[in-house]
């Protein structure tokens, strides 16, 4: 027997109605084997109907199916039994209340309470399934179908995320993610014959663990509350979704979030999606991330365009540091200068972008501290406004800080105004930056393409005298007197190379040290390279040796370090010579300790001099002293003030007794060994020279 009906439900109800009508013939029980039933897209095998007729309008009955094959994705359902404990039929309609039991639906056994009702007047079919076990949870399902359309209410408790994903996979959906979670969900769906028109949903997910196959999106023990509604009008879907992240961790490459009860994140999005034009318009997005940031924005995208982003605006109402930097900024500047900054303070801002037009940034800093862990730079109490746009209109940003540092040199309070036009930035007027106890007058400072490969900048300034004591203290050097000053008229940075024109002048030890042709490559890179020429003029050796506790030497010293090349702040090549100036007529004396130290540096036996009878002399006169070293490939080609057989004079004594000469014979000396010896001498007796 084969009957064609549009739905199994209607077939059942029709049969029940016919049989209940037959009750007037006083039948007590009836069982009908309907055989196979077939409808549009479905096939039921071995359908059996059982009716028990009781007095009055209430009866009982059951319908069993060996199997029913439904359209994909559900497929074959085995061993279905609907037991109607109460079966009513009247003019108004037919109803069945009882139990549903399915041995095999999408790989799971299903059972629960069932209520099916047909209202004759409205031709409305209502279905209720209660306490149905599915995907590890308990479901309450209520559906209603009538001429105008249908609706479906779903409520489920303690659904297992894993089982739900399994169910979806069996339904034929491709779900590559690994998911485990405890879910409570409610949903209301409305629709008509052509599909779903509106959905309202609420999902409470606990202990949500999720990961995509490549690991770029994942969550750990996430508590998520998702509420929202989606409505369709013609081809446009309108959605409003509210998400609260209450606990756990979330990773969306490259960003990582940790949520706690005290610091939840609340995201609200309202928008439209038009499947026809492929346009996504999020009219409003708002984020409240407790203790981190508050922001809102708007987004327009067209996925049909090669460059989908059409328009975006983001308004940062409040961002708290360091959390906002660590969470939202740091992941995006990974590997760049400043990616490990320690920050404090707050800021607000606004960013806008329009495809084919301009983008603009406006940021207001409120007492922001930034600190580079590598101590290259830092600012405290940075406040002001950054105003920038990609358009041609010049903008002015104003910034100020209470204190700061550049390579550990302290900077004082400064206010500056920067003019910008596109990616070109320029100081609006000269600025005076207090530097240690002196001042750095910046006459001109300009920057192009910051952060790009072809970043360029230039700087013109004057350094008014800074005491060397302060410089030494800041840089951790042995303290010595004197002053640092200089005209720095042309500092240029281009092609990752910093060139300093002009002359840096260090006035110290009653003499002068000048630095010329200073060039620095990749100053912020892993291996900064420095080139320079240094000249020493008329230094007072007594002050110098006193500072480095070397043993007293009286006299003057001049010399040079030409073509100095440093890598990672280590010298690799230079041509250096330090010696008593030719025309020096000052008093020349060298102490016993200095002679000993000069010997010790060379690895000689310290104190040899004092153990001899010459030990009675505290100091010796000398004619000239000096050393030269030409460093190349880690080897220092040594020389002194004058040649002697097979060697050179390091100290050439006066003719009159007590005469002492220090003669060097090693002409090729390993640079590292020389440095180690120098360190050990100064380590024993005074500050370490680094």
Partner 1 sequence: MKTMRLPVLVALLVFVTACVTINVYFPAAAAQEAADRIINRVYGTEGEGEKPAEPAAQPSQQPQSRTSSAVTLALVGTLNWLITPAEAAAPNIDIKSPAIQSITAGMEARHSSLAAYYANGAIGMTGDGLIVARDLNAIPLRDRSKVQQLIADENKDRAALYNEIALANGHPEWGKDIRATFARRWVANAPAGWWYQDAAGGWKQK
Residues that bind partner 1 (CB under 8 A): 211, 213-216, 218-220, 249-251, 253-256, 258, 331, 334-335, 339, 526-527, 529, 566-570, 572, 595, 599, 602-605, 608-609, 611-614, 633-636, 647, 650, 653, 657-666, 668-670, 673-674, 677
Dist CA 690 CA 676 (whole Å): 10
Q: Would you give the distance in Å from CA 482 to the centre of its chain?
A: 45
Contact 144, 186 (CB under 8 A): no
**What is the closest distance, in whole angstroms, from the C-beta atom of residue 242 to partner 1 in the complex?**
24
Cis peptide before 73 (omega within 30 of 0): yes
| Tokens standing for residue 270 | 């309202």
438 vs 664 by CB, closer to partner 1: 664
Give burial (CB, 10 Å; 0-12/13-18/19+) of 125.
buried
24 vs 213 by CB, closer to partner 1: 213
404 vs 664 by CB, closer to partner 1: 664
**Would you say how long the chain is, in residues?**
690
Residue with tokens 């480095």: 548
455 vs 572 by CB, closer to partner 1: 572
Taking the C-alpha atoms of 424, 430, 434 and 435 in order, what is their torsion angle to the nearest 10 degrees? 60
Dist CA 515 CA 533 (whole Å): 6
**What is the closest distance, in whole angstroms, from the C-beta atom of residue 675 to partner 1 in the complex?**
11
Question: Three-class SS of residue 23?
Answer: helix
Give me the DSSP letters along 171-191.
TT----SEEEEEEEEEEEEEE
**What is the closest distance, in whole angstroms, from the C-beta atom of residue 569 to partner 1 in the complex?**
8
262 vs 616 by CB, closer to partner 1: 616
**What is the closest distance, in whole angstroms, from the C-beta atom of residue 214 to partner 1 in the complex?**
6
Dist CA 176 CA 663 (whole Å): 79
Contact 290, 262 (CB under 8 A): yes
**What is the closest distance, in whole angstroms, from the C-beta atom of residue 666 to partner 1 in the complex?**
4
**What is the closest distance, in whole angstroms, from the C-beta atom of residue 363 to partner 1 in the complex?**
23
197 vs 258 by CB, closer to partner 1: 258
Contact 627, 638 (CB under 8 A): yes
3 vs 249 by CB, closer to partner 1: 249
**What is the closest distance, in whole angstroms, from the C-beta atom of residue 215 to partner 1 in the complex?**
3
Do strands 4-5 and 29-39 pair parallel, antiparallel, or not at all (unpaired)?
Answer: parallel
CA angle 448, 450, 456 (to 5 degrees): 45
**What is the closest distance, in whole angstroms, from the C-beta atom of residue 662 to partner 1 in the complex?**
5
173 vs 665 by CB, closer to partner 1: 665
**What is the closest distance, in whole angstroms, from the C-beta atom of residue 616 to partner 1 in the complex?**
12
Dist CA 315 CA 363 (whole Å): 10
**What is the closest distance, in whole angstroms, from the C-beta atom of residue 332 to partner 1 in the complex?**
10
134 vs 629 by CB, closer to partner 1: 629
Give me the DSSP letters along 230-252.
EEEETTEEEEEEEEEEEEEEEEE
Dist CA 296 CA 287 (whole Å): 6
* DSSP annotation of 676: H
**What is the closest distance, in whole angstroms, from the C-beta atom of residue 218 to partner 1 in the complex?**
6
The residues that bridge with 67 in the sheet, in sequence order, are 45, 78
75 vs 571 by CB, closer to partner 1: 571
491 vs 579 by CB, closer to partner 1: 579
Question: Three-class SS of residue 675?
Answer: helix
Contact 540, 553 (CB under 8 A): no
Q: Per DSSP, which regions of 495-640 are E strands?
A: 497-500, 503-508, 511-521, 529-540, 553-554, 556-567, 570-579, 589-591, 619-632, 635-639
**What is the closest distance, in whole angstroms, from the C-beta atom of residue 671 to partner 1 in the complex?**
8
* DSSP annotation of 329: I
CA angle 321, 327, 332 (to 5 degrees): 115
31 vs 670 by CB, closer to partner 1: 670
5 vs 256 by CB, closer to partner 1: 256
**What is the closest distance, in whole angstroms, from the C-beta atom of residue 678 to partner 1 in the complex?**
11
Q: Would you give the distance in Å from CA 297 to the centre of its chain?
A: 21
């Amino acid at each position: 027997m084969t009957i064609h009906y549009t739905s199994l439900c209607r077939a059942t109800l029709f049969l029940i109605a016919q049989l209940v009508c037959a009750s007037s013939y006083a039948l007590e029980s009836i069982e009908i084997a309907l055989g196979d039933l077939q409808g549009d897209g479905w096939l039921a095998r071995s359908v059996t109907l059982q009716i028990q007729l009781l007095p009055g309008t209430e009866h009982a009955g059951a319908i069993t199916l060996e199997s029913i094959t439904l359209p994909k994705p559900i497929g074959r359902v085995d061993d279905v039994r609907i037991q109607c404990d109460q079966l009513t039929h009247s003019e108004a309609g037919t109803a069945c209340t009882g139990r549903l039991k399915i041995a095999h639906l999408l790989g799971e056994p299903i059972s629960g309470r069932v209520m099916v009702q047909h209202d004759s007047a409205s031709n409305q079919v209502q279905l209720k399934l209660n306490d149905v076990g599915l995907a590890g949870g308990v479901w309450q399902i209520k559906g209603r179908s009538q001429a105008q359309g249908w609706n479906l209410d779903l409520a489920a408790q303690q659904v297992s995320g894993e089982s739900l994903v399994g169910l979806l996979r069996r339904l034929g959906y491709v779900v590559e993610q690994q998911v485990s979670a405890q879910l409570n969900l409610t949903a209301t769906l409305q629709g008509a014959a052509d599909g779903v028109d509106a959905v309202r949903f609420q999902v409470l997910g606990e202990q949500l663990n999720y990961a995509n196959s490549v690991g770029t999106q994942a969550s750990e023990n996430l508590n998520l509350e998702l509420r929202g509604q989606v409505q369709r009008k013609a081809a446009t879907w309108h959605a409003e979704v509210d998400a609260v992240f209450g606990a756990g961790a979330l990773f969306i490459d490259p960003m990582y979030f940790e949520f706690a009860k005290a610091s939840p994140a609340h995201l609200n999005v309202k928008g439209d999606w038009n499947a026809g034009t492929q346009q996504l318009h999020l009219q409003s997005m708002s984020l409240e991330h407790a203790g981190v940031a508050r922001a809102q924005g708007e987004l327009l995208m067209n996925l049909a365009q090669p460059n989908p982003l059409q328009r975006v605006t983001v308004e940062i109402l409040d961002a708290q540091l360091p959390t906002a930097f660590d969470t939202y900024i740091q992941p995006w500047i990974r590997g760049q200068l400043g990616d490990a900054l320690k920050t404090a303070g707050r800021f607000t801002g606004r960013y806008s972008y329009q495809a084919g037009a301009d983008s603009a940034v406006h940021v207001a800093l409120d007492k922001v501290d930034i600190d580079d862990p590598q101590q290259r730079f830092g600012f405290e109490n940075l406040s002001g406004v950054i105003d920038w746009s990609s358009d041609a209109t010049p903008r002015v940003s104003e910034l100020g800080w209470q204190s700061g540092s550049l390579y550990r040199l302290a900077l004082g309070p400064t206010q500056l105004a920067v003019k910008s036009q596109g990616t070109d930035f320029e100081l609006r007027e000269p600025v005076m930056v207090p530097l240690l106890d002196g001042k750095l007058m910046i006459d001109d400072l300009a920057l192009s393409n910051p952060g790009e490969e072809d970043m360029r900048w230039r700087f013109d300034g004057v350094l008014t005298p800074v005491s060397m004591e302060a410089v030494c203290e800041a840089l951790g050097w042995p303290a010595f007197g004197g002053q640092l000053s200089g005209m720095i008229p042309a500092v240029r940075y281009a092609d990752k190379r910093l060139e300093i024109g002009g002359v840096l002048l260090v006035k110290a030890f009653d003499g002068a040290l000048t630095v010329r042709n200073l060039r620095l490559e990749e100053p912020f890179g892993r291996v900064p390279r420095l080139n320079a020429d240094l000249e020493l003029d008329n230094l007072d050796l007594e002050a110098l040796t006193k500072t480095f506790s070397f043993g007293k030497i009286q006299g003057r010293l001049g010399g040079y370090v030409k073509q100095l090349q440093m890598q990672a702040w280590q010298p690799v090549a230079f041509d250096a010579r330090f010696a008593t100036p030719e025309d020096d007529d000052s008093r020349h004396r060298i102490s016993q300790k200095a002679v000993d130290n000069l010997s010790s540096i060379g690895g000689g036996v310290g104190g040899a001099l004092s153990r001899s009878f010459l030990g009675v002399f505290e100091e010796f006169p000398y004619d000239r002293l000096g050393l030269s070293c030409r460093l190349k490939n880690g080897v220092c080609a040594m020389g002194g003030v004058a040649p002697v057989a097979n060697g050179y004079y390091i100290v050439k004594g006066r003719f009159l007794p007590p005469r002492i000469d220090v003669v060097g014979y090693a002409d090729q000396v390993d640079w590292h060994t020389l440095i180690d010896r120098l360190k050990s001498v100064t380590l024993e007796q005074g500050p370490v020279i680094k």
